[in-house]
A and B are shown apart, each in its own frame.
Chain A
Amino acid sequence: MAADARRHEAARARWLVSGPPLLYLLVFFAAPTLIMVLASFRSPGEFGGLAPLRDDTGALDLNVDAYVRFFTETVYAQVFVKSLVFALVTTLVCLALAYPLAALIARSPKKSRDILLLLVILPFWSNFLIRIYAWMILLGPNAALARAVNGVLGWFGAGPVPLLFSSFAVLVCLVYVHLPFMVLPLYANLEKHDPALLDAAQDLGASAWQRFWRITFPLSLPGVYAGAALVFIPALGIFAIPDLLGGPDDTLIGNLIKQQFLETRDWPFGSVLSIVLTVSALALVGLAAWLGRGATRGAERVGA
């Protein structure tokens, strides 16, 4: 009896603890997401939003018009490809910058690691818009950077180029904003490496270059993939950076989504764009994770 009562109590405790957050997220996360998926199959309303679910004849008005529009009009494919390219370039540049930093932190004495890591994270905690604004100042036409660049260009007889409101500005800021996401998982991985492996390789005559490409890099691939996922997903959906730093041609998929919901008010099409964005981001990251597992197994063989 006592055991029975206790088991009953345990089941109740389980519901008491997990029930409220579960309920909250079902109502305010799962339901809105499902409603948006449904909205992507509905017709746009005459004055924005959604048309009634049942048309004049009482039939359900569900269609794939918005999907057809996305996949047939090339202008959307262009924006989507541009977003993918920007996110990919951002991920690669972040990787190139984060790797030496993560490696240095992992090789530092234990005591200074925490502070070095904190220094990477801190800028990430300053407001997102402030970090964009900082680049508006740095790349602005009056700033030292623009004057220096244009001064150099002037010597070669090239006309002044604006740094702000360009793809360059968008990419620089994308890298700046996402860099910490790459450093953290890379560091977590590099820190675990056994230095004996590198010593052994060196004793066997491997050069620094060989030691990096044959040992350190393959072993770090899980960290590389984790960092790439953390950078790629948010970078793909960004709209504030192209909005504030980009030129007229720098419309990305995030800007299109914002436009559909706040200006054109075409919700079905906006929903389609959001779904395509999310599905492709998760699919690409899933693919990377899958590749990563293979790489990890390979790396373990190298390590063993």
Chain B
Amino acid sequence: MRSRSPLLVAVALAVYAFLYLPLAIVVVYSFNDSRLNAEWVGFTLDWYRKLFADDDMLAAARNSLVIGLVASLVATVLGTMAGIALHRYRLRLLPLLVFAPIAIPEILMGVSLLIFFVLLNFTLGLVSVAIAHIAFCIGFVAIVVRARMAGMDEALVEAARDCGATPWQAFRHVTLPLIMPGVIAGALMAFTLSIDDFVITFFTAGAGTVTLPLQIYSMIKIAVTPEVNAVSTLLMLLTLLLIVVASRLSPSLLRSQEEAPT
């Protein structure tokens, strides 16, 4: 272990505070018995009660859930295929198409899909949003699955094939079980990305469809209200849960590299 000067520790602690203080304030004020997010008055659950009586918010939550489930399901299937393909074959076009949506500014994808859907007379709504979410989630699933494939012994598949398994059987009974943690982690990640997405949804949802982030956006555009704190707190809890589960299943989500030999 190398030296950790007190100054370094102090700066790092300050940065952690910078990361967490704002979110902590959102959570604390969601229980505050005051319309103003200014000072602590007293404990209340009123904002949560108001939240669960807010039909617009509930409809938005329902939309987000439906889009998230559909998008993560399809993106997981396609992303897993892409991840396997990227690991096994030397391809030119696929890597470009898988990683480009991650590398370019989000807004570009949002507006190009808007033009695309409108020119095709495709009604903007739940379906167009789900299609857009699938497109940007595939890459994230593919990355996680490819990492898992890299840690897998391909000789096992060869052995299964030599014992007479068809390619499908070898995939179903050897490859898939081995990469399953990566697949599930990818699915959870895709679900989280979909639930959280604002920019691409903003352009592809059209006027009539509202998701949770869009609802939050229109609320905070007008005024700050503790109801937003309440929905934010619940959303953070959900994301936290999903990410903790995902990172348990696929530690590579957290480590930016394999354990270095010591």
Contacts and interface: CB of A to CB of B under 8 A. Distances in A.
Given A14-B89, A261-B111, A138 B239 contact: no
Contacts of B254: 114, 117-118, 121
B163 to A, nearest CB: 14
A131 B82 CA distance: 32
A108 B4 contact: yes
A258 B108 CA distance: 10
B119 A134 contact: no
A57 interface: no
Contact of B82 (A18, A123, A198, A271): A18
A217 interface: no
B53 interface: no
Interface residues of B, number: 90
B155 interface: no
B79 interface: yes
Contacts of A184: 256
A179 to B, nearest CB: 7
Nearest to B24: A134
Interface string A50-89: 1000000000000000000000000000000000000000
Interface in B25-66: 25-26, 29, 36-39
Nearest to A138: B22
Contacts of A36: 108, 111-112, 115-116
A3 interface: no
B105 A125 contact: no
Contacts of B203: 261-262
A26 B37 contact: no
B20 A123 contact: yes
Interface string B236-257: 1001100100010001001111
A24 B105 contact: no
30 contacts: A18-B81, A18-B91, A20-B78, A21-B78, A21-B94, A21-B97, A21-B142, A22-B93, A28-B135, A32-B115, A33-B108, A100-B12, A103-B8, A104-B11, A107-B3, A117-B255, A118-B254, A125-B243, A126-B239, A127-B236, A130-B216, A133-B26, A133-B228, A138-B25, A144-B39, A179-B18, A184-B256, A233-B103, A271-B111, A282-B103
Contacts of A243: 221
A240 to B, nearest CB: 6
B85 interface: yes
B224 to A, nearest CB: 6
Given A127-B213, A130-B23, A140-B37, A101 B11 contact: yes
Nearest to A235: B105
Interface in A1-26: 9, 13-14, 17-18, 20-22, 24-26
A142 interface: yes
B113 A127 contact: no
A24 B216 contact: no
Interface in B164-221: 167, 192, 196, 198-199, 202-203, 212-213, 216-217, 220-221
Contacts of A31: 116
B16 A119 contact: yes
Nearest to A18: B85
Most buried by B among A18, A107, A117: A18
A153 interface: no
Given A33-B108, A107-B4, A236-B105, A24 B135 contact: yes
Interface of A: 9, 13-14, 17-18, 20-22, 24-26, 28-33, 35-36, 39, 49-50, 97-98, 100-101, 103-105, 107-109, 114, 117-123, 125-138, 140, 142-144, 176, 179-180, 184-185, 187-188, 191-192, 195, 198, 208, 233-234, 236-237, 239-240, 243-244, 254, 257-258, 261-262, 267, 270-271, 274-275, 277-278, 281-282
Contacts of B38: 140, 142-143
A228 to B, nearest CB: 14
B92 to A, nearest CB: 11
B150 interface: no
Nearest to A118: B254
Contacts of A244: 217, 220-221
Contact of A118 (B25, B89, B229, B247): B247
B107 A28 contact: no
B26 A130 contact: yes
A137 B229 CA distance: 10
Given A25-B138, A101-B15, A108-B4, A126 B23 contact: yes
Nearest to A34: B112
Contacts of A123: 19-20, 23
A278 B4 contact: no
A184 B235 CA distance: 24
Contacts of B105: 233-234, 236-237, 254, 274, 277-278, 281
A296 B115 CA distance: 42
